[in-house]
Chain A
Amino acid sequence: MKSAGSSIGRSFDVHNHVLDNGLRTLLVENQAIPAISINASVLAGARQEPEEQAGLAIMVSRLLDEGTVSRSSLEIAEAIESVGGSIESDGSFERIVLSCTILKQDLDLGLELVSDILLHPAFPPDYVTKEKARTLAEIASAKDRPQVVAGWTFNELVYGRHPLHRPVQGYPDTVERIGRDDLLGFHHTFFTPGNTLLSVVGDFRVSDLLPKIERYFGRWAQKPVPVAAIPRPHRQTERRRKFVAMPAQQVNIYLGHLGIERANPDYYALQVLDTILGGGAGFTARIPQRLRDEMGLAYTMFASITSTAGLDPGRFVAYIGTSPENMQLATEGLLNEIRRVIDEPVTAQELQDAKDYLTGSFVFAFESSAQIARFLVHAEVYGLGFDYIEKYPQYIEGISIDEVSRVAKKYLDSENYTMAVAGPVDRNGRPTHNGR
């Protein structure tokens, strides 16, 4: 048992228990509301799927609750919904997460359903067909939004052949190719107790819960999981640009390049940098202050390198959505601020404000059971340790002006960047009159 949390003014005990079959459980009692959040995170996602089967991991996640060996899709839905609970399954590049939220008196039902869905999904053939059609429709729908198109285009240019170049849903032709055997294969390979974290947070007693977990998950057979060799992506050494013409009111601009892994020790200095450049509270950061508050160029904009950091390097992205006639001003504005933070030291006041913001707002990440459950998984997956909550303020307080300058020079580039634009522009980047 590990106690965590005095730096956020509250503490919670993390009960870290490994079952004989290797399933790691992370349990936190939280009596704030009479409910329980159960989260099973399988540590495999779209980064492990082959290029020609892009979209496989997401499809596995979406079909989990569409029927098990002993329950139909409708039986699962009726069971959970009739007690007012919910089960959701979602996938990302790194994980497939099955989350169940229930009132506390329904804990047994929640564990039983999560266990059944996780261990014995049936991937019924008619649901596989349906889910493929639905995914194709969702991809078509997502392409209606210029911001999505710009973001996807950006990733393609930044990541080259690394799995993160793809939309997590895959492409229409790869989704078409996915068969039921592929889904069963992914499940068979990656869904093992040793490759799964079970976090439970809410209104229960650990002493009551542990035997129940043993009952529902103890007979899950352990087996080895192949380690995927995923090549490291490389940061670009030249400028890349692409303009996608779409009739729209605004142009959506993504500008940036490859970022960092979550385990990078410079993560905290870069969080301070993010706060000064494009994050923080309201419109205090340099980019929104200049481009929104002073120039009135846009309603939405942000810049960050840490928010996408994961097992793989994330992205440094500066984003803005603006009217086509502002495109050049907006792009210049973003580049100027990136250049300035690389070339000139931030002020002592900016540094102090950013530190105060990051350490002071840390508490908001631990308010709900779902947030705590998410933290437990991050702490485990990224090796943060459960004393992270104690250490975080020290990590931030230790950052100096020179540190911020050093990481800005090392990790940001105002010359060799990718720029992806979607909206009323032609292929050469000239604004066109919008189509509506």
Chain B
Amino acid sequence: MSIPLGLSTFAADGVRKTVLDNGLVVVTRELHASPIVTTVLWYRVGSRNEEVGQTGKSHFLEHMLFKGASRFAKGEIDLLTLKNGGGNNAFTSHDFTAYYFNFASDRWKVALEIEADRMVNCTFDADEFDAEKKVVIEELKGNLDSPWGLLLQELDATAYKVHPYRNPIVGWLQDVERATAEEQQAYYRKYYHPNNAVLVITGDFDAERTLEDVARCFAGIPAGPAPPAVMLVEPEQHGEKRVLVRWRSKVPRIAIAYHAPEIAHGDSYPLHILGAILAEGKASRLYQRLVERDQNVTFVTAEYGESKDPTLFHIRAEGRGRHTAEEIEAGIHDELRRVVEEGVTPAELMRAKHQIEAHFILSRERTLDQALLFGQIETLYGLDYIDTYLRRISEVTEDDVSRVCARYCREDNRTVGWLLPDKSAEIVEEDITSEEDSGESAPFPEGGVQ
């Protein structure tokens, strides 16, 4: 299968990787289409590094990095972002924690100074920690008010019995509630070092001069001890596992998780293709089967996500009408059986390859998109993955797709989660149509509140 346009060089062209003496990896790519510079600092720590009883530490730490360091006090990072007309945010995953800034290219270097400061100088004021704990708990509760958030949390916790991917990234409520500033600071000291970080800079800058600026800000930070390796390996599953979540909704939701290999594993490429053939677009198999033919779901997705350690291939669908979770699940199993027994067609394979290739280009238009791609790949595996990814996708055969489907999407390797109505589901429906209240006995006085 040929690749249109020579795309394999498109993404990685002009990407430069430099390693400072203290171990900080710096990835730069100049892009001069817009006068914007994006910086993303990645730490190789996420929920996979968290021990029993310590879940949520990586994510809580992400919040604390905005709460004050030696040069930039609480609130100053956001204030500088505001004054400079930029944007900032941060996110935590199973495998990494990342912080980004978007600035116009004439004022972006403040990002380097902020990141260098908070890499090692965060203060962990006890009052700030306690205040932020309330915010994190609200975030956690918000996730639990999402039916999919809850179902996937329970599904993953059931699918893994050993590996920390079983824990929610935000942590279990009980762990977060009892967390202390001291523990949090110790976690920070363990994982936040230049030699455990990747700095990605994309956009409208000069790489030579920028590397000098990076050295000026970061070279003085000493390397830290290497963080402990994650030793836990998920044992093989020996039979289907099932989990039932009761919730207030009348809409049945179903999610299936199959244990699957890590990023860059030989089988990962056919699994990407399998995901596209099953559920990418309206011509895909599960769409045609469940949405078009059986008409028992509103949507269906199939996704192989890249992870540092062996991951899960997820299929999810949301039921509709009076159709049952049994019916929907049977349809999914049947389509997977067909892929194994009857194979996929050359046209399906070609379509999936073109979708993956085009997605690779179309979703990398902004400097932030590119910085996220480079940082994620360097953190999970190494930049050379990008150079080979599209070639490896193009080499996948029809037999490869059937083979990985047979190997991973089988009964003994799956965990099935259903989210079904609880007793309150009927009551909710009534209350939505309730009359407007009189306001008479409401706890808010008419004269307003102070």
A: residues with CB less than 8 A from B are 8-10, 30, 32-35, 65, 73-74, 76-78, 80-86, 101-103, 105, 130, 133-134, 136-138, 140-141, 143-147, 149, 157, 239-250, 280-284, 289, 292-300, 321-323, 328, 331-332, 335-336, 339, 353-354, 356-364, 366-369, 414-415, 427-430, 435-436
| Cα(A250)–Cα(B141), bound, Å | 7
Q: Is the CB of A435 within 8 A of B34?
A: no
Q: Is the CB of B365 within 8 A of A246?
A: no
Q: Is the CB of A144 within 8 A of B248?
A: yes
28 contacts between A and B (CB under 8 A): A34-B10, A34-B361, A82-B283, A84-B355, A101-B362, A103-B361, A130-B295, A137-B320, A144-B249, A149-B432, A245-B434, A246-B248, A249-B141, A282-B78, A282-B81, A283-B78, A284-B78, A289-B75, A295-B131, A296-B131, A298-B135, A299-B136, A360-B104, A363-B104, A367-B34, A427-B431, A428-B441, A436-B144
Tell me if B415 is interfacial: C-beta within 8 Å of chain A: no
- B87, B145, B247, B291 pick with most chain A CB within 10 angstroms: B145
Q: Is the CB of A298 within 8 A of B428?
A: no
Q: Is the CB of B431 within 8 A of A244?
A: yes
- A105, A140, A149, A281 pick with most chain B CB within 10 angstroms: A281
Could you say which residues of chain A place their CB within 8 Å of the CB of B402? none
Contact with A along B424-450 (1 / 0, CB 8 A): 100111011010110111111010111
Tell me if B30 is interfacial: C-beta within 8 Å of chain A: no
Within 8 A of A (CB), among B406-429: 424, 427-429
Could you say which residues of chain B place their CB within 8 Å of the CB of A144? 147, 247-249, 251
| Cα(A292)–Cα(B74), bound, Å | 13
Q: Is the CB of A134 within 8 A of B280?
A: no
Q: Interface stretch among B155-163, B346-354, B373-381?
A: B346-354
Q: Is the CB of B85 within 8 A of A133?
A: no
| Cα(A19)–Cα(B247), bound, Å | 55
| Cα(A321)–Cα(B145), bound, Å | 11
| Cα(A389)–Cα(B351), bound, Å | 40
Could you say which residues of chain A place their CB within 8 Å of the CB of B225? none
- Closest residue of chain A to B88, judged by CB? A282
| Cα(A141)–Cα(B321), bound, Å | 11
Q: Min CB distance, B277 to chain A, in Å?
A: 11
8 Å CB contact of B449 from A141, A249, A328, A369: A328
Contact with A along B334-354 (1 / 0, CB 8 A): 000000000000010011001
Within 8 A of A (CB), among B82-118: 82-89, 102-105, 107
Tell me if B19 is interfacial: C-beta within 8 Å of chain A: no
8 Å CB contact of A282 from B35, B82, B424: B82
- Closest residue of chain B to A435, judged by CB? B424
Could you say which residues of chain B place their CB within 8 Å of the CB of A435? 248, 424
- B89, B105, B283, B446 pick with most chain A CB within 10 angstroms: B283
Q: Is the CB of B439 within 8 A of A141?
A: no
Contact with A along B269-289 (1 / 0, CB 8 A): 000000000001111000010
| Cα(A244)–Cα(B432), bound, Å | 6
Q: Is the CB of A353 within 8 A of B145?
A: no
Q: Is the CB of A81 within 8 A of B355?
A: yes
Q: Min CB distance, A362 to chain B, in Å?
A: 8
Q: Min CB distance, B341 to chain A, in Å?
A: 23
Tell me if B250 is interfacial: C-beta within 8 Å of chain A: yes
Could you say which residues of chain B place their CB within 8 Å of the CB of A250? 138, 141-142, 145
Could you say which residues of chain B place their CB within 8 Å of the CB of A415? 448
8 Å CB contact of B75 from A246, A284, A360: A284
Q: Min CB distance, A239 to chain B, in Å?
A: 7
| Cα(A81)–Cα(B34), bound, Å | 30
Tell me if B318 is interfacial: C-beta within 8 Å of chain A: yes
Tell me if B33 is interfacial: C-beta within 8 Å of chain A: yes
Q: Min CB distance, B213 to chain A, in Å?
A: 20
Tell me if B146 is interfacial: C-beta within 8 Å of chain A: yes
8 Å CB contact of B134 from A143, A296, A336: A296
8 Å CB contact of B85 from A35, A103, A361: A361
Could you say which residues of chain A place their CB within 8 Å of the CB of B321? 133, 136-137
Q: Min CB distance, A33 to chain B, in Å?
A: 5
Q: Is the CB of B358 within 8 A of A281?
A: no
Known interface pairs A10-B34, A368-B366, A429-B442. Does A360 touch B85 (Cβ–Cβ under 8 Å)? Answer: yes
Could you say which residues of chain A place their CB within 8 Å of the CB of B356? 84
8 Å CB contact of B448 from A240, A283, A335: A335
Known interface pairs A10-B35, A82-B347, A359-B85. Does A32 touch B354 (Cβ–Cβ under 8 Å)? Answer: no
Known interface pairs A335-B448, A360-B84. Does A244 touch B354 (Cβ–Cβ under 8 Å)? Answer: no
Q: Which 5 A-B pairs have the closest CB atoms?
A: A360-B85, A84-B358, A282-B78, A296-B134, A137-B320
Q: Is the CB of B437 within 8 A of A427?
A: yes
Tell me if B77 is interfacial: C-beta within 8 Å of chain A: yes
- Closest residue of chain B to A86, judged by CB? B281
- B35, B137, B428 pick with most chain A CB within 10 angstroms: B428
Q: Min CB distance, B411 to chain A, in Å?
A: 28
Tell me if B364 is interfacial: C-beta within 8 Å of chain A: yes
- A144, A295, A321, A335 pick with most chain B CB within 10 angstroms: A144
| Cα(A246)–Cα(B83), bound, Å | 41
8 Å CB contact of B444 from A149, A293, A328, A356: A328
| Cα(A242)–Cα(B446), bound, Å | 14
8 Å CB contact of A299 from B138, B247, B354, B440: B138
| Cα(A369)–Cα(B83), bound, Å | 27
Q: Min CB distance, B118 to chain A, in Å?
A: 14
8 Å CB contact of A141 from B75, B141, B251: B251
Tell me if B66 is interfacial: C-beta within 8 Å of chain A: yes
Could you say which residues of chain A place their CB within 8 Å of the CB of B88? 281-282
Could you say which residues of chain A place their CB within 8 Å of the CB of B439? 239, 241
| Cα(A321)–Cα(B146), bound, Å | 13
Could you say which residues of chain B place their CB within 8 Å of the CB of A141? 249, 251, 298, 318
Tell me if B139 is interfacial: C-beta within 8 Å of chain A: yes
| Cα(A29)–Cα(B280), bound, Å | 29
Q: Is the CB of B449 within 8 A of A331?
A: yes
